[in-house]
Amino acid sequence: MRLQPKLIILFFCVSIVPFGIIGYHTYTLSAESMEDHAFVHLNSVAHTRAGHLGSWIVYMQDNAKVVASAPSVVRNIEVMVTADPVSIEYRQAKDAVEAFGDIAMEGYATFDEIFILDRGGTVIASTNKNIIGDNRSSREYYREGLHAAHLTSAYISKTLNVPTILVSAPVLLDDNRTIGVVVCRTNFNMLHETIHDRTGLGTTGRAFLIDSNGFLVSGLADGAKTIPAVKNTSEDYCGIYTTSNGKKVIISRIWMPDQKWYLIAEQDHDEVLDPLNVLIERAIVVTICVIVLIGIFSVLTTWQITKPIERLHDGAEAVAAGDYSIQVPVVSNDEIGVLTQRFNEMTSELYETHRELQNTITLVNHTLENQKSTLESVLRSIPDCVFVIDTEFKIVMANQACKTLTGISEEAIIGMRCYDIFSSDACEPQCRLQELTEDHGGGVCWEMDIVDGEGRSVPIMTCGAPLHSTDGALIGYVEVLRNVTQMKRVTEELQRTNAELGLANAELKKLDELKTNFINIASHELRTPLTSIMGFTEFVADEMLGELNPRQKDALSKVLSNSDRLARLINNILDISVIQAGGLELKLNELDISELIKDIVADMGALAKNKNLTCTIDIPDHLTIEGDRNRIEQVVANLIGNAIRFTQERGSVSITGVDGGDWIQVAVSDTGIGIIPEDLPHVFEEFWQVEKSKGMGLGLAIVANIIHRHGGVVWASSAVGGGSIFAFKLPKKVSYRLDESGDPEGAA
């Protein structure tokens, strides 16, 4: 299907389908709303007429009570009940009662007949002479009328042939004894008119009254209609039912419990929805007009849209056929017009690109020819034999060196295989070349012995590598064969030299062990007498052998100072020897480095005071880490001691600390003489001494090794005459490692 019919269908779907869906839902909701309104209206009509009916019933019962309680009725019935039926008193009382009945019928026009029953149920007086003497004791109106006013169910009177009801009321004496029952017969003519009134029920509506058995009490003037089925229920009801001829009717039913009647109001469903149906008919007409207009509009619009697209399609087909000079006419400035312009620009660029591509292909072919010539020149210039073989291991290219090695010309060797030239043992690795290169992930080398063109046995180092096409497919291999006779001679010479170096290295290890043993023995032998010297010197300095003069005290002080310096040198030598031997062990415990620093500063306070130095500490309290307390104390004491030693009088030394979360940083800065830039990179090296330094240059080397052993880093910065800063950074847990930038490596 072409684009225009698709767009027309799309226009119809987008415009008509939503309209139809919305119309359907609107109709459904409107119909439900109108049905609900009809329910409410019919229910209101039914309740109103049920109210009128209830008022009429009360009115009729009151009238019957008035007749039954009339003094002449009570008095004369009492006489008739007690007197002899053949006596004059009886006859007079009877005539008076009948005369009152006629008067009552004239006064109450709603009554068609009035008759009186005695306590035995016998008719003793009546406006209808034909029933006097009948016994009605079995009748409902008699039984119920003995106790209270009662309204019977409706029935069709045989004489009147209309729906009739009887209203009965007891005749009571002053002491409330019942002496008879007054019964009034009435028809529904006036009530029928009230019930059957179509006001508010439209042209098809009606109202009627039926009893619980479905017997029509009043209404239903239109004999063509059917009384709806009534279930024996005492509930009101609103709903829709379908008649026997298939017509839907909306009904409202009101239950009247005192009379056990149903008052029903109903209206045809079609009449209720007539306004909506008229509106729908008009909407359908409008919709048809809209569909026609949409059809015309969609045809015109899609033609304007698809025609330029068809031109573009034809242009694209021409380009696909190789006509890059095609140009599509631009007929609008909208998006299609812009697209057409871009298409024309694209075809122009394609035309230029195609022309340039042709030129490029020509140039590339020329370049490839040059590269091929260059490659052949390179291959000829390579002193090693170079074979290019295909996937069937046939030689497709060889250089001049192969002729020298094999004695076969370049032309003759093309198409030959390895075993056509060399022995099968020498060719065995080549047969497994694909397997070997795959195992090694690329090129592979092996040694073999061959017989050259002159018949000599020559050791050859062969290296092979796979050749792949641009799409990665294996197309062959390249092999380089090198005469390694001279290389083998050099290798043998190197092996002899390495053996000699191994012997020399063993001698050096022995010398190193001797040096280490010498240092350990010398340090131990020096420490023992030194300890005695320092002890006796302190004993004499404390004037335990007598009073000393100032010169003697000064001399002893120098002896103690130099002895202490010598002891530190011995300890440093022992420490560095342990470190070099890899025997530095850490006894890790949690330690408060802030308290440690404060204790060390307090111990060195005398040294600082002698030079009038100001020592400041700026470090957080309770800064704890995991470490070897003695070794960390050795680090801090060394750095602070150096700062005091190299700071002139009245200078300052400051110690600062930072809590970095997983790590801590401590820096010792001074205002001393500083370090020249050339010496700064070497300060942590063993036996390195800066200018004016005393000692062996081991203290900072030991510091660096202890810090590194704890997983930290140490560094220094300085300016000549501007003081120095020595700082170290340690992880709080030795399991962490800090890289050279000071960042944790093992922190999780």
Dump pLDDT digits (tens) for 581-593.
Answer: 666 788 899 999 9
295: buried, middle or exposed (CB in 10 Å: 19+, 13-18, 0-12)?
middle
Write down the CATH superfamily of domain 388-483. PAS domain (3.30.450.20)
Reported confidence tier of residue 168, pLDDT bands at 50, 70, 90: very high
pTM over 0.75: no
- Single-letter residue type at 569: L
Q: Which residues contact 691 (CB under 8 A, 6 or more apart)?
A: 676, 679
Q: How confident is the model at residue 266 (pLDDT cuts 50, 70, 90)?
A: confident
- Tell me what the mean pLDDT of segment 322-336 comes to: 78
The per-residue pLDDT for 739 is: 54
* pLDDT tens digit sequence for 186-212: 877 667 777 777 777 878 888 888 877
User: For all residues of the chain together, what is the average pLDDT?
Assistant: 81
612 confidence band (pLDDT: 50, 70, 90)? very high
The architecture (CATH level 2) of 500-583 comes to: Orthogonal Bundle (1.10)
CA dihedral 291, 293, 294, 297 (to 10 degrees): 160
Pick the CATH number of 584-731 from 3.40.50.10490, 3.30.70.3280, 3.30.565.10, 3.40.50.300: 3.30.565.10
pLDDT score, position 748? 33
pLDDT in tens, 686-700: 777 765 556 667 788
Beta bridge partners of 482: 461
Of the listed ranges 197-206, 428-437, 467-476, the least confidently predicted one is 428-437
Helices (H) and strands (E) in the chain, counts: 18, 23
d(CA 452, CA 450): 6
CATH number, span 69-186:
3.30.450.20
Query: Which tokens sit at 207?
Result: 């109202």
**SS3 sequence, 352-419?**
HHHHHHHHHHHHHHHHHHHHHHHHHHHHHHCCCEEEEEECCCCEEEECHHHHHHHCCCHHHHCCCCHH
DSSP element (H, E) containing 23: helix 3-68
